[in-house]
Amino acid sequence: MIKRPQKLKPNAEMNVVPYIDVMLVLLVIFMVTAPMLTQGIKIDLPKVDADVMPASQQQRIVTLSIQANGQYYWNIGPKVNTEKVTDQAIDLSSMQQKLIPMINNDQSLQFYVRADQNADYQLVVQAIAVLQKSGVTNLGLITEEPQS
C-alpha cells in the first residue's frame, strides 16, 4: 500500500517568545529612566502667612504688575490690561495703603498678579499675602506662552 502524504493543518498556537522579549526590554527601559524622572532641586521658599483662596465669579478686574526692581503698578478695568496704569507704588507698604481702601469698597474684585521673570519670588508672595489679608478672595496669576 502506498501512503498518501497528509496535508498540513494550520497551526493555531501563538508564539509568545518575541512578545516576552519586547516586554523585558520595555521593563529595563522603564527601570533605568524612572529614577531620572524624580529628581528635584532644593530651594529655600519664603515664609508667608497665607490661606487657601476659594474661587468665585469675577466682576471688575485689577491687574497687579510687579517689576524686577520691586515696584508695583496696577490697572482697574473690565478685562485684564497690562498696558495701562491706573496707579503705582514704590514698595509693598505704599501698595497696601493704596489698595486696601479700594478692596474694602468692593469685595468682588478679581485680582490678577503679573510679575517680571527676574522679580524676587519674595516680592510676589508678599504681595499675594497682603492682598489676601486685605480680603481678596479672587486671585489669579498671569503667564505668557513661550516663543517657539
Q: What is the side-by-side strand order in the sheet with 138-141? A: 87-89, 72-77, 61-66, 110-115, 138-141
Mean pLDDT of 94-123: 84
- The span from the CA of 94 to the CA of 133, in Å, is 15
pLDDT band of residue 46 (cuts 50, 70, 90) is: very low
Residue 53 pLDDT > 50: no
Question: Is a pLDDT exceeding 80 seen at residue 40?
Answer: no
H or E stretch at 73: strand 72-77
Band of the pLDDT at 24, cuts 50, 70, 90?
A: very high
Indicate if the pLDDT at residue 51 is higher than 90: no
Question: pLDDT per residue over 60-71, tens digit each?
Answer: 888 888 888 888
Residue 7: the pLDDT is 75
C-alpha cell at 2: 502506498
Residue 95 and residue 89 in contact, taking contact as beta carbons nearer than 8 Å: yes
Amino acid at 136: V
CATH classification (class only), 61-141? alpha beta
Stated pTM of the model: 0.56
